[in-house]
Amino acid sequence: MTLPARYGRAPLRGVNKGPNMHIRRALPLLAPLALAACTVPAQIDQAPVPYTALKPLNEVGTSSFSVRVMNGASRIPKEMTGIPCTFGGDGFVSSFTAPAIVTAPNMGARTPAASVKCSFEGRTQTRALQAQNKTLGDITGTVSAGANAGVVGVLVGGAVAAAQTVTRDKTADVWGYPDVTITFD
């Protein structure tokens, strides 16, 4: 039995160099695979897609979100382009090709649930969307960013977020939908 080289002695050819040797040999093969998994999102070249109101909505503004479609048939999902989709809710609708930035009505706390439906090779995927208060999400994100500064950052960020949450004009809050990724297997 041969032992690994230790304590500054030069390793001998053919001698086991430790329990991680298999990982070291596989690393050059795994690196390209890991880089392939880091795919860059497709560029969204079209203008934001407007919605069509089917009835009076009494909206106070608009918000937007992105829609992306992935082909999950392989081990590493790849983003697809030119996929026909629709977005709609109670009183509004829009049609577009993914990837896209979709404009949605902001009706405050009255913003209804909606859905995104995309079709690919005769199959259809639908994703239900719940409206969310994006203003509160932005304030909460500020607290999360403060966590990178340690305990003091969390305390200061939390105090600032609490003050913003209490003193803000709730009628000016922006309501909208989260970004959507639909995967076809």
> Can you give the pLDDT of all 185 residues of the chain as single tens digits?
555 555 556 555 655 555 555 555 655 555 555 544 556 788 898 999 999 999 999 999 999 999 999 998 888 889 999 999 999 999 999 999 999 999 999 999 999 999 999 999 999 999 999 999 998 876 666 544 445 555 555 555 554 445 454 557 776 789 999 999 999 98
Cβ burial of 146 (10 Å; 0-12, 13-18, 19+) is buried
Q: Is 16 part of a structural domain of the chain?
A: no
- Residue 99: asked if its preceding bond is cis (omega within 30°), the reply is yes
CA atoms within 13 A on the CB side of 25: 7
Same domain as 127, residue 94 = yes
Residues 63 and 123 in one domain: yes
79 and 124 part of one domain = yes
- CB < 8 Å & 24+ apart, contacts of 171-174: 171/60, 171/108, 172/135, 173/108, 173/109, 173/133, 173/134, 173/135, 173/136, 174/61, 174/63, 174/106, 174/133, 174/134, 174/135
Residue 139's domain comprises 134-172
Same domain assignment for residues 61 and 127: yes
Does any domain span residue 32? no
For residue 48, how far is the Cα from the chain centroid?
A: 18
99 inside domain:
yes
Number of structural domains found in the chain: 2
141 and 112 housed in the same domain: no
pTM of this structure: 0.66
